[in-house]
Amino acid sequence: RPVPLPEPKVGVVVFLLRFQTLLLGKRRSSIGHSTFALPGGHLEFGESFEDCAAREVKEETGLDIEKIEFVTVTNNVFLDEPKPSHYVTIFMRAVLKDPQQVPQNIEPDKCDGWDWYEWDNLPTPLFWPLEKMVLSGFNPFPGV
Ligand code: 8DG
Ligand code: MG
Ligand code: MG
């Protein structure tokens, strides 16, 4: 019997900008294990990109965000992973409602912890959809 192919999924991820830094966490999930990635997750049925961005950031870090806007979209096929998958990844940008708010690691089974990093001093290795954007010369900070 032919094995059905999995469906492409939609991921919504957030460049959460705080002064000259952005939030990254080291993944513990099967896809991209031990690489640094943006907060984010799966788009739910009927949800807007903005609502998904705010919900996932809240669920994963406890942070409240605002000025949420669409940045770009990329197509990411993960064939060399334990579970082959395909994500259409929506990249959003946002800032903290309260810049003094501190990220919490609410899903420690999925992330080793969150921290702020300067764009010129990013940790390695980056999750490859993000690495691809950095290598292409992309910069998430407005006015660059
Ligand atoms: P959920 O159950 O909370 O909805 O999902 P999640 O466990 O938070 O999903 P995720 O893996 O964090 O994000 C969904 C997919 O988005 C991920 O498997 C692949 C894609 N994705 C990228 N780049 C990035 C990124 O920088 N960060 C995150 N979190 N996901 C990314 O293509
Ligand atoms: Mg999530
Ligand atoms: Mg996530």
Q: How many CB atoms lie within 10 A of CB 130?
A: 25
Could you tell me which residue, 99 or 144, shows the higher pLDDT? 99
Collapsing DSSP to helix, strand or coil, 130 comes out as helix
Nearest ligand by distance to the CA of 12: 1
The sign of the torsion formed by the CA atoms of 25, 111, 31, 82 equals positive
Please say whether the beta carbons of 22 and 134 come within 8 A. no
Find out whether the beta carbon of 67 lies less than 6 Å from any atom of ligand 1: no
DSSP state of 120: G
Model's pTM, two decimal places?
A: 0.96
| pLDDT above 90 as % of the chain | 88
pLDDT of residue 81: 82
Q: Tell whether ligand 1 has an atom less than 6 A from the beta carbon of residue 87.
A: yes
What distance in Å separates the CA atoms of residue 68 and residue 120, rounded to the nearest whole number? 23
Q: What ligand 1 atom has the least distance to the C-alpha of 37?
A: 26
The predicted-structure confidence for 40-89, as pLDDT tens digits, reads as follows: 999 999 999 999 999 999 999 999 999 999 999 999 999 888 788 999 99
- Can you tell me which residue has the tokens 């094995």? 3
Which residue lies with its CA nearest to atom 16 of ligand 1? 11
| Residue 127 alpha carbon, nearest atom of ligand 1 | 26
pLDDT, position 5: 78
Query: 140: pLDDT confidence band, cut at 50, 70 and 90?
Result: very high
Whether residue 69 contacts residue 93, with contact meaning beta carbons closer than 8 Å, is answered with yes
Average pLDDT over residues 33-37: 97
Q: What separation in Å is there between the alpha carbon of 2 and the centre of ligand 3? A: 31
pLDDT score of 4: 79
- Give me the residues near ligand 2 (ion), CB cutoff below 5 Å: 41, 56
Per-residue pLDDT at 1 exceeds 80: no
